[in-house]
Chains A and B, each alone.
Chain A
Amino acid sequence: MIVAGIEPKAEMVHWWFATGILILGLLLVAEVVVGPEVWGRRPWRRYLWPGLCFLLGVLMWPVMALYTNSMIHMVAHGSWAQVLMLTGGAELGVVRGKLHSQYWRLTSVVALLVSGTAFLVHEQNGWYFARAAFLHHALGWTLIVAAVFPLAQAVRPRSVVAASGFALTFLVIAVLLFCDRDSAAIFGHFSTFAGVPHR
């Protein structure tokens, strides 16, 4: 109860992760624009997005441990933590030169599919229940559809379309997460069971 009183609201945590994912998206877009050769000219730059991805995974663990309002939320947060760390770790291994296969990009496919499924499974309400429910559905389907981009990258690593799609996915996810509110209407719809609406 004391922890519930001092911990930040769920919507705030979503905004912080949105900020991290926005940085991730900008880094990936910049890499697509300049190309992998220019991007890799400074070694520290190669570690930026995999490192940030791994860090977001680590930071997801406190979210899992502290936001224990339901079992299914804990499972969802835990699965995001694991797949973010898996993808970040695999990409770190690739840029470090410890891992060589282009198929390590498939870890991003796994991450997007698991994350998307977790969003859809842990949202028990319909699309128009409230804004949070709508965003959970939108995020889930966005992630599942976007899994096609890293899949294409695993097969064709130099595909600009696949890299652009992968990068833009993170920008879309950031925008959706920034739109989140704990209880707010969505396109004029708001369930009477969703609590007190906010702006």
Chain B
Amino acid sequence: MSADYAHQRLGQTEKEHIARAVSSTRVRIVLALGPATAIGGIAWAFLQPWRLTLLHPYGQGFWWLFAEPPLYVVLVGVLFRLLIAPGLVEDMEETD
């Protein structure tokens, strides 16, 4: 193996390694987006429990029982993780 070829191969391997690391970081970010959102919703529910009328439902009208903003945030995070993230990760891995 000539020194030039060996150097070239080393460069290619290094580039592949960097590309894989970047892709892996992206996969982690995409997989973390949903849970991070859901954790935000849970933290909000703990900080302002009165926003969840389901915790004290007596005497509440329909709309107050339907409007549970911290739960909406959790739901968005869970749905993103279940419906959007897996396909994105699959496509990123196929592209690599």
Chain A positions near chain B (C-beta within 8 angstroms) = 8-9, 12, 15-16, 18-19, 22-23, 26-27, 29-30, 33-34, 37-39, 41-42, 45, 178, 199
Q: In this complex, what residue of A is CB-closest to B77? A: A26
Known contacts A19-B73, A26-B80, A38-B91; 14 additional CB pairs below 8 A are A9-B63, A12-B63, A15-B72, A18-B72, A23-B80, A26-B33, A26-B76, A30-B88, A33-B26, A34-B30, A37-B95, A41-B91, A42-B91, A199-B48
Q: In this complex, what residue of B is CB-closest to A15? A: B69
Would you call B10 an interface residue if the criterion is a C-beta within 8 Å of the partner chain's C-beta atoms? no
Q: B40-96: which residues lie under 8 A (CB-CB) from chain A?
A: 44, 48, 50, 63, 66-67, 69, 72-73, 76, 80, 84-85, 87-88, 91-92, 94-95
In the complex, what distance in Å separates the CA atom of A181 from the CA atom of B73?
Answer: 17
Main secondary structure of the interface of A (DSSP, over half): helix
Contacts of B26 in A (CB 8 A): 33-34
Would you call B18 an interface residue if the criterion is a C-beta within 8 Å of the partner chain's C-beta atoms? no
Chain B positions near chain A (C-beta within 8 angstroms) = 26, 29-30, 33-34, 37, 44, 48, 50, 63, 66-67, 69, 72-73, 76, 80, 84-85, 87-88, 91-92, 94-95
Q: Are A30 and B92 in contact (CB under 8 A)?
A: no
A26 touches which one: B37, B72, B95 (CB < 8 A)? B37
Q: Are B63 and A30 in contact (CB under 8 A)?
A: no
Query: Nearest-CB distance from B41 to chain A (Å)?
Result: 10
Query: Nearest-CB distance from B23 to chain A (Å)?
Result: 9
Query: Nearest-CB distance from A30 to chain B (Å)?
Result: 6
Q: In this complex, what residue of B is CB-closest to A8? A: B63
